[in-house]
Structures are given as structure tokens and as C-alpha cells.
């Protein structure tokens, strides 16, 4: 049952499928739609869906462990599965203009290669998902759809405008190459073409700087995957907190989409550079390795992931000294989450000799950084809360270590800031 077709828009949401509808659903290809029906449908539809899935108990709602607030993740799984099954361009085009949210956004993203965000109030957010790109869609199709959406003031006009801006930096020669490739062959996996879009040169950087960012982004994604594999559902769920470098998150999505990374980080980087059309002749394995394992001057986040690699031996040997050096580098460059790790490490003495002075120094540096961000931030309410919390953390640490008088001073200061909110 093609749920992106107008006659089926309401049926699948209500879960009121007929027997004829169920005959069109297949256990593996429509796994998430059947799961949705088992959970959301009426009793009759739920029983049939469970029978088609080969289960006897209503399944639990799937949860995205990377984002606690993502209550639309189940919906994403269903629509992402089904949008890939719709082959008719015109059906998806009509859905982009007329279907209810979030079906319209999924259809639009599938036709333009844009990403879908769970928040319907925002055109873009740090938490986005790829819907891939439909086979045989050429550049002119994307441009025409975006311009029509804007001219007609359609429901996704803001996203269409942003998508045109993203694609505006591409040269005519590259557009011709893309259009030619898409016309000449259909990608068995739209992820390949999506990767090419992701790997394009970034504005504001030289060719060398841009390639360095790409390599470091793939490295970060690779290390994150190894970390999640070693610590499934890990106690340190920090990915959603790290969104200063969107490319790294894109690369993580890319690696988990349909691509199985190789055991070695350099092999993985080389593969993705090659598929993305960015593996230049001078990019030897030695050069790639040197860049991947060095501090990237344009990404403090990369230093944080280097620390993870050395700390847990992800893709390399464990090296506590290098791990602390990389973590300190990330914090010195303003990577907020690194401060928390450094304070915890030195205050607990779990992995190093306990050093209260260093723990307090790093917490004080965090307070100072939060103060600067508060004074400079265009959204002072959020920055003020971060500043207040950092001061309370400092007070708690002082109290824990027996500095009661200094701790009370910090708590009073935090209370004064809270009154300003």
C-alpha cells in the first residue's frame, strides 16, 4: 500500500487497514509500517499486523537513544521506509505540497536530497535525518521544485529557500556532471549521491582546509561508532550535546545509513573520500592518517574525539597521556563538554591521581567561558542559565572538597543570576 498516495494519507495514520491493504504489505519491506499498525491501529488491525510480523505481543515503541526529546523517531522510521518505496515523482511532488506534516516534508526531502528534522516548527535543527535522494532526479528537477514551492508560498517554502542556498555554491561544471551521472544511471543506493552532496567543498575554506575538515569529520564519526559499539546505550550519551560541527554528525548518519565501515579508520576515510569524489591523487594513506590523527585547527570537536580514541583505544592503542592532552586542547578551545569530563576525571581520581586543584581550575575556566558567552550571546536567556549552572557546579565542587565559605559565595552568586531570568 503506497501511503504517500493521496487516497491513503489518512488510512495509515488511523491504522484502519482493510484486508486488501494488508495483502500489499510485506513483513521485511514494510516492517516499520506494520509495527506502527500493531502499536497504533485498532484491535483488529493490530492483530493482523502482529501476525504478519510473526509476533504475539504488541511491540514497544522504538526510541532513538541519541535524542531523548525525539518523540517523532517512530514516525521517522515508518515514513523513511515508505518514501523509499514510492517510485512516482509526481506522487511525491503532490505530497510535498498537499500532504499533512510530516509526510509533506519527507516527500520534499526525498526529491531534493534535503534532511528531515523532527521539529515541525523549525526548518533546520541540529538533529536531522537523511531521507536519501530519489533515483533519476536531476538538478533541474530540484531547482524547479524549490522555486515552485517558494513562488506558491508552499508549506515548505523556507526549507526550499535554504536548499537553494546550499546548492548555490556548486559550479556549473559540477552541476552538469551531477545531472549527467543521475541521467545516465540510477543509484542502487541513494546514499551514494547523498554522500557526494555532503562531501562538496564548504564555503569559506580553502581546498586544503575543507578536505582536512572532511577527513576529521569522518574520523569523528568512525570513533563515535566504535564507542557506541563498545558501550551500547552508553552511560555517557553526549552526541546530542555536540552539534557545533554539523559535518561530523552528517558523517555519522552517513556511516550508519547503509555503509559498513572497515575495521581501520584510514580505510574507512579513504573509502568515503573515494565514493564522495574527493580522493585526490596526493591523498595517500600516510597523508590521510597524519591528518586524521592530528589536531584539526578548524575543529575543537575533533580534539574531543581524539581524546575518546586514545582513552578507550578506539582504532589505536590506549594512551592516557595523549587522551588528557587532546581533552585539554578541546576545553582550551572552548569545547564545553570537555570541561565536564576534565572536572570529573580530576575530582574523582578514577583514571588519574586525584587533583582537586586542577578540577577547580577547569571548573573556574568553564565558569569564565560561560560568562563570556552570556555577554556575547544573542540569546541571553539560555546563556544566562548555562552561566548560572556552571557557577552552581563550582559551588558544589567546593562544598564537596570542604571549602564551605567559598561554596556559599558561589551559590549566592548563582541565586542572584537566577533572579535576573
pLDDT at 236: 46
Residue 377 has pLDDT above 70, yes or no: no
pLDDT at 328: 93
Angle subtended at Cα 156 by Cα 150 and Cα 158, rounded to the nearest 5 degrees:
65
CA dihedral 105, 260, 273, 141 (to 10 degrees): -30
Mean of pLDDT values over 276-289: 87
Mean of pLDDT values over 183-203: 63
Tell me the helix, strand and coil percentages in the chain, rounded to 5. 65, 0, 35
Of 77-81, 199-203, 221-225, 339-343, the one with minimum mean pLDDT is 199-203
Question: What are the angstrom distances between the C-alpha of 132 and each of 41, 84, 192, 265?
Answer: 28, 8, 9, 24
Residue whose C-alpha cell is 574525539 = 305
Give one DSSP letter per residue of 57-98, joined into a string. SPPPPP--TT-TT-TTHHHHHHHHHHHTT---HHHHHHHHHH
Q: Comparing 67 with 287, which gets the higher pLDDT? A: 287
Q: What is the pLDDT of residues 205-223, one digit of tens each?
A: 888 888 998 999 899 888 8
d(CA 272, CA 219): 11
pLDDT at 373: 84
- How far does CA 293 lie from the centroid of its chain? 22
State the pTM of this model.
0.55
Q: Which three cell numbers stand for residue 321?
A: 597521556
Mean of pLDDT values over 115-123: 53
pLDDT band at 353 (very low <50, low <70, confident <90, very high): confident
Residue 172 has pLDDT above 70, yes or no: no
**Which residue from 351, 327, 352 is spatially nearest to 341, judged by alpha carbons?**
327
Backbone angles phi, psi at 2, to 5 degrees: -85, 100
pLDDT band at 182 (very low <50, low <70, confident <90, very high): very low
Most trustworthy range by pLDDT among 1-5, 63-67, 88-92, 241-245: 88-92
pLDDT at 288: 93
pLDDT band at 287 (very low <50, low <70, confident <90, very high): very high
d(CA 158, CA 175): 23
pLDDT at 190: 59
Residue 258 has pLDDT above 80, yes or no: no
Q: What is the pLDDT of residues 157-170, one digit of tens each?
A: 888 887 877 776 65
Percentage, residues of the chain above pLDDT 90: 11
Q: What is the pLDDT of residues 305-329, one digit of tens each?
A: 999 999 989 888 999 999 999 999 9
Give CB contacts under 8 A, 24+ apart, made by 405-414. 414/388, 414/389
Q: Which three cell numbers stand for residue 254?
A: 552517513
pLDDT at 293: 94
Q: Comparing 368 with 21, which gets the higher pLDDT? A: 368
Round the average pLDDT of the chain to a whole number and report it: 78
pLDDT band at 123 (very low <50, low <70, confident <90, very high): very low
CB 138 within 8 A of CB 107: no
First to last CA, the chain: 52
pLDDT at 294: 93
Mean of pLDDT values over 225-232: 77
pLDDT at 193: 67
Amino acid at each position: 500500500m503506497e501511503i504517500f498516495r493521496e487516497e491513503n494519507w489518512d488510512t495509515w495514520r488511523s491504522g484502519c487497514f482493510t484486508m486488501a491493504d494488508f495483502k500489499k504489505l510485506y513483513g521485511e519491506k514494510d516492517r516499520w509500517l506494520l509495527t506502527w499498525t500493531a502499536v497504533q491501529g485498532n484491535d483488529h488491525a493490530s492483530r493482523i499486523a502482529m501476525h504478519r510480523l510473526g509476533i504475539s505481543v504488541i511491540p514497544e515503541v522504538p526510541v532513538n537513544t541519541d535524542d531523548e526529546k525525539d518523540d517523532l523517531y517512530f514516525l521517522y522510521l515508518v515514513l523513511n521506509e515508505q518514501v523509499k518505496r514510492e517510485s512516482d515523482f509526481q506522487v511525491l511532488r503532490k505530497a510535498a505540497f498537499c500532504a499533512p506534516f510530516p509526510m509533506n516534508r519527507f516527500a520534499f526531502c526525498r526529491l531534493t536530497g534535503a534532511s528531515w528534522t523532527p521539529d515541525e516548527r523549525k526548518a533546520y535543527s541540529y538533529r536531522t535525518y537523511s531521507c536519501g535522494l530519489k533515483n533519476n532526479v536531476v538538478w533541474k528537477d530540484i531547482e524547479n521544485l524549490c522555486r515552485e514551492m517558494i513562488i506558491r508560498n508552499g508549506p515548505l517554502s523556507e526549507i526550499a529557500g535554504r536548499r537553494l542556498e546550499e546548492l548555490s555554491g556548486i559550479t556549473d561544471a559540477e552541476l552538469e556532471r551531477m545531472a549527467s551521472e543521475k541521467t545516465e544511471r540510477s543509484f542502487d543506493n541513494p546514499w551514494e549521491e547523498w554522500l557526494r552532496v555532503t562531501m562538496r567543498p564548504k564555503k569559506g575554506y580553502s581546498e586544503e582546509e575543507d578536505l582536512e575538515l572532511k577527513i576529521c569529520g569522518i574520523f569523528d564519526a568512525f570513533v563515535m561508532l566504535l564507542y557506541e559499539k563498545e558501550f551500547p546505550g552508553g552511560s555517557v550519551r553526549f552526541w546530542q550535546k555536540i552539534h557545533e560541527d554539523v559535518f561530523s554528525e552528517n558523517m555519522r548518519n552517513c556511516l550508519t545509513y547503509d555503509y559498513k565501515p572497515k575495521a581501520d579508520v584510514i580505510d574507512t576515510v579513504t573509502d568515503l573520500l573515494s565514493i564522495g569524489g574527493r580522493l585526490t591523487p596526493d591523498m595517500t594513506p600516510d597523508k590521510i592518517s597524519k591528518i586524521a590523527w592530528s589536531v584539526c585547527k578548524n575543529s575543537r570537536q575533533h580534539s574531543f574525539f581524539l581524546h575518546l580514541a586514545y582513552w578507550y583505544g578506539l582504532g589505536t592503542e590506549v594512551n592516557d597521556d595523549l587522551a588528557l592532552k587532546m581533552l585539554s586542547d578541546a576545553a582550551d578551545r572552548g569545547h564545553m563538554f570537555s570541561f565536564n569530563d576534565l572536572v570529573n576525571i580530576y575530582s574523582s581520581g578514577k583514571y588519574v591521581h586525584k587533583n582537586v586543584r586542577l578540577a577547580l581550575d577547569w571548573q573556574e575556566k568553564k565558569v569564565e567561558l560561560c560568562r563570556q558567552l552570556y555577554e556575547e550571546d544573542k540569546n541571553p536567556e539560555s546563556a544566562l542559565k548555562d552561566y548560572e549552572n556552571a557557577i552552581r557546579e563550582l559551588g558544589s565542587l567546593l562544598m564537596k572538597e570542604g571549602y564551605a565559605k567559598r561554596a556559599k559565595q558561589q551559590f549566592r552568586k548563582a541565586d542572584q543570576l537566577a533572579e535576573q531570568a
